Structure 1
Amino acid sequence: MSGITQTNEKLPFEAEKAPVITSIRSIEGAIIEVTDRDADQAMDYVLDSQNIVLDQKIERALIRKIDWCILPLVCALMACQQMDKTTNSYASIMGLTKDLNMTAQEYSWVGSSFYFGYLFFEFPANLLLQRFPLSKTLGVAIVLWGVVLMCHAACRSSASFLACRVLLGTFEGFMNPAYILLTAQWYKKSEQFMRSCIWFGFQGFGSILGGGIAYGLVSHHYTMPSWRLLYVITGIITVFLGLISTVHIPDIPVKAWFLDETEKKYCVERIRSNQQGFGNQHFKMRQLRETFKDIRTLIFFVYGMSYAIPNGGFTNFGSILLKKDFGFSTKDSLLMSMPGGGIDIVIPFIVAFMSTKLFKGDRLIVCLIVNSIVIVGMCLLNFTSHKGSKLAGYLSFYAATAVVSGVVSCISSNTAGYTKKITVNTLFLVGYCVGNIVGPQTFRASQSPNYSGAKIAMLVSFATGDICIALMYWLNKRDNHARDKKREELGVDYAEPKNLEFADLTDKENPAFRYSL
């Protein structure tokens, strides 16, 4: 299954500097050469930490400190990101379309244009996150995002507004990949699903906050149109959080200002079990090639698109649907967007808890169950006429946040090799972009106010998501079984190369890697 060769018996793991593996035989039998340049950033800190025996009490205290120092800011950024994206939905019923003389079709392109910028800049954004310090790169992108958001308030035509949306989308490309990388750096695989659910779920707080701000603005009269003020206020909040994140979040755990030396060593030792390390700043063509040969990459892409088609519709047309199809007033439509935000926050946390306590950590099984419940909700939205049942179906969409959180955590925990991870991130988000471009286009003006075509598209999309999740679960089970069988064939004499987990190997290359379910 695996082997190691070395040019000098004293070189690997005994040098005073960074330990070096010279070559590894991958799970598929290929020989992979490993040099200092190939190793993970964590390798530089391995010698200082490898003799540490983790004390559970200290480790629990460390996890709490990481949770309090890192997670709240990531949650705030995610909430702000969602609030900023849903401003269109609120602004559309606050006078945006009227003031800019937008047709219904032009407004559909407002939603799609954002994701053209996202799509075209997604891969460059991931490369920049790999090449430069993670938190600094993220912080700069967030500040620029906030500045562009405020520029929306100065737009006087549909063309200038569409240009702002495209530019805003380019900075969106930095955010979700950065959150995924941060989760992989700071937490063990067993901890990642819960944390992904928490920060992803906090986009619901952004929906609540954005809806509340919009409701307050619409309830009073100002010299500036209320929808323009909405973009200014959300932009200022974003710039502030971007500046805070730049100085607060460390680029890698061993540079954390809030950890002492012992805690930094614990961080290195804790991530051994992930078989992933902190990351490597050099782009590796072999990992890129493997990414495109891995069937999981295609599954992530298709799932990203299947989730994003409904998401693109709800983000831009949610308030319009509530007003035109359900018959709520403008103010009530803004208020009715808030319960969905509450579902966004609560359901992912409940799903992660259920996965840990009832399903032995099998997150994909729980995701499959929740996604199937959302399918039932889409059937209510499509095929019932009672206002209450239709509203229940409408709100069921927000439970899908828990499902996409689970899939995102699979990218974090089941994709090893830094170049491969950023590429899978990119392709997942390319699918996400494509879906968000398509989603608003399913809302045809000719089908107003029911928008039956859009509702059918949502139902088909979630059904496709079910297939993706089930296939991913089967692949992970199959590959883990095959690796365990090969390990048994080698017998007790087989020994894993020391510090293998910090060689920046992919999940296919690393014989010790096991997929999380």
Structure 2
Amino acid sequence: MSKPITEVEERHLVRKLDSYILPMTCLLYLFAYLDRSNLGNARLQGLPEDVLGGDESGYYFDWVNSAFFFSYILFQIPASIASKMFPPHFWIASAAVGWGLASTLMATAFNFGGLVSARVFMGLFEGCFGPGIPLYYSLFYTKHEMGLRMAYWFGFAAVAGAFGGLIAFGVNQIESSISNWRLLFIIEGIPAVILGVLTVALLPNRPERTKLLTEREREIALHRMHKVARGDVGYTVNRAHIWMAFKDWRVYTGGVIFFGLNCALASISAFLPTIIKTFGYTDALAQLMTVPPYAVAAVVMSMVSYVTDRLQTRGLFMAGSSCIGAIGYIILLTVEDNNGARYFATFCLTTGTYTSIGIIIAWYAHNLGSETKKATGIPMFMAIGQCGSILGSHIYPKADGPKYTRGFAICCALELLAALCCVFLHVSYKWDNARRDSLHGKPDPDVSVDTRELADKAPNFRYMG
């Protein structure tokens, strides 16, 4: 280090990183989530009647919705590991162009097979994007900064829910020879392609290679990257750390948590307009009424994530958020005649579920110890969790409406299971830290831990609880 790093220099660098990284990655996720979740709006715009033969049972719609998650799950782990071998801005850009094209081409589908094919390719390319962002952020941000940045990023899923309702409402007002649902796919698909092209020029490469930073800024960025742990870096893969991730029981526990949260998330994304319609609203107004719950979820998630960064603890906050989601489902299950209370319950669903998901991604981005273990462990628990998305796509059949007792009960139980697992993980991390303190002493927080061999199992590595 040529000279000591000052707090002023570090704050300036973080602001510069934020100005480059957050706008592009958040906008990309906004359109990624719009493209994966717009089926719920398209359903109320005539898609089943046009290409699914009416689909009175909702069977075909459920499978079109869940087709995305099969390829998303299968490609997450290999794609995330492979991403370490390529410049991240090119990798992210390619993924955006891919899913944007697939989403836009959904507008050309004229049967069940065409919709499923487009959704499968969309899932493939989004599987190359979503799990790679926590790894990408960890190259630039410290554990004290990750929670809020991940909340900003994932918060755009909630913004997409709100924005998607507004776009769908606007598209409903268009009189055109093209079906409204086809216009919706085109309007929400093309921007992802454009953003993908811009990403190559505007998103920084790895800290040691990016041309968007000065030499001094790269020096500070590299120091920050190794501030807590110094493991495998660059375009390399540590095979031993891949197997460590596969053998880590905490990764699978995270998968159980993510399974429950994603079951709720997928069902909210696909069926929230349908659920709100049961409160007595028209199709167009039901889409508009989805906006406030998503907007509140984005604000609350950012606030809670900021607090978890400051306190450096995440597990108990996740447990509390999951319980809020469960309370929403309990209201929907038990209150039948008060539509005000039932609409309030949708705020609980979105706020509790989105907040927990935003926090868990930041939690594991620190607690896995090395780049390769993060590149394996994060998509592992996310892939397990996305199996919950498949379940969530099939538990609200039309035959269960308007009460949807089965879907609400399953999501409620899984949210409570997620809360219990969060508490268990929090306690296990605290216990492991205390055990290492007693065996090896408390490490100096200003000294980087060498995790090249043992990843998070290094004696001086400490977990965030």
- TM-score w.r.t. the length of structure 2 is 0.94
Q: Specify the alignment match of 1:514 in structure 2.
A: 462
Which of 39, 53, 59 aligns to 1:88? It is: 39
Larger radius of gyration: 1
Which of 388, 399, 421 aligns to 1:468? It is: 421
Asked whether 1:74 is paired with 2:28, we answer no
Asked whether 1:107 is paired with 2:61, we answer yes
Letter of the 1:293 counterpart? K
- Cα distance in 1 between the residues matched to 2:444 and 2:227: 16
> Partner of 1:175: helix, strand, or coil?
coil
Asked if the contact 1:272/1:501 (under 8 Å) is kept, the reply is: no
- Cα distance in 2 between the residues matched to 1:356 and 1:181: 17
Shift of 1:272: 2.4
Asked whether 1:266 is paired with 2:220, we answer yes
Q: Specify the alignment match of 1:417 in structure 2.
A: 370
1:409-488 mapped onto 2 (5 Å cutoff): 409-488=362-441
Which of 345, 363, 373 aligns to 2:298? It is: 345
CA deviations on 1:172-211 (whole Å, 9 max, x unpaired) are: 1012212101211111111111111111112222222222
Cα pair distance change 1:191/1:129, threshold 3 Å: same
Q: Specify the alignment match of 1:503 in structure 2.
A: 452
- Cα distance in 2 between the residues matched to 1:480 and 1:267: 27
Asked if the contact 2:145/2:309 (under 8 Å) is kept, the reply is: no
CA deviations on 1:452-503 (whole Å, 9 max, x unpaired) are: 10010110110011012111101110111111112239xxxx999x975473
Letter of the 1:54 counterpart? I
- Cα distance in 1 between the residues matched to 2:453 and 2:95: 27
Q: Specify the alignment match of 2:340 in structure 1.
A: 388
Q: Specify the alignment match of 2:280 in structure 1.
A: 327
Cα pair distance change 1:370/1:188, threshold 3 Å: same
CA deviations on 1:313-364 (whole Å, 9 max, x unpaired) are: 11111111222x222101111101111221232011111233355xx22222
Q: Percent identity?
A: 25
Asked if the contact 1:208/1:342 (under 8 Å) is kept, the reply is: yes
- Cα distance in 2 between the residues matched to 1:80 and 1:476: 35
Letter of the 1:503 counterpart? R
Q: Specify the alignment match of 1:231 in structure 2.
A: 185
> Partner of 1:422: helix, strand, or coil?
helix
Asked if the contact 2:294/2:350 (under 8 Å) is kept, the reply is: yes
Which of 203, 211, 214 aligns to 1:257? It is: 211
Shift of 1:123: 2.2
- Cα distance in 2 between the residues matched to 1:99 and 1:288: 46
CA deviations on 1:370-390 (whole Å, 9 max, x unpaired) are: 222222222111111211111
- Cα distance in 2 between the residues matched to 1:283 and 1:73: 26
1:148-187 mapped onto 2 (5 Å cutoff): 148-187=102-141
Letter of the 1:363 counterpart? R
- Cα distance in 2 between the residues matched to 1:499 and 1:92: 52
- Cα distance in 2 between the residues matched to 1:141 and 1:122: 12
Asked whether 1:406 is paired with 2:355, we answer no
What is the Cα-based RMSD across aligned positions, in Å?
A: 2.0
Q: Specify the alignment match of 2:166 in structure 1.
A: 212
- TM-score w.r.t. the length of structure 1 is 0.85
> Partner of 1:258: helix, strand, or coil?
coil
Asked if the contact 1:111/1:312 (under 8 Å) is kept, the reply is: no
Asked if the contact 2:230/2:449 (under 8 Å) is kept, the reply is: no
> Partner of 1:429: helix, strand, or coil?
helix
1:191-202 mapped onto 2 (5 Å cutoff): 191-202=145-156
Asked if the contact 1:253/1:264 (under 8 Å) is kept, the reply is: yes
- Cα distance in 2 between the residues matched to 1:284 and 1:502: 11
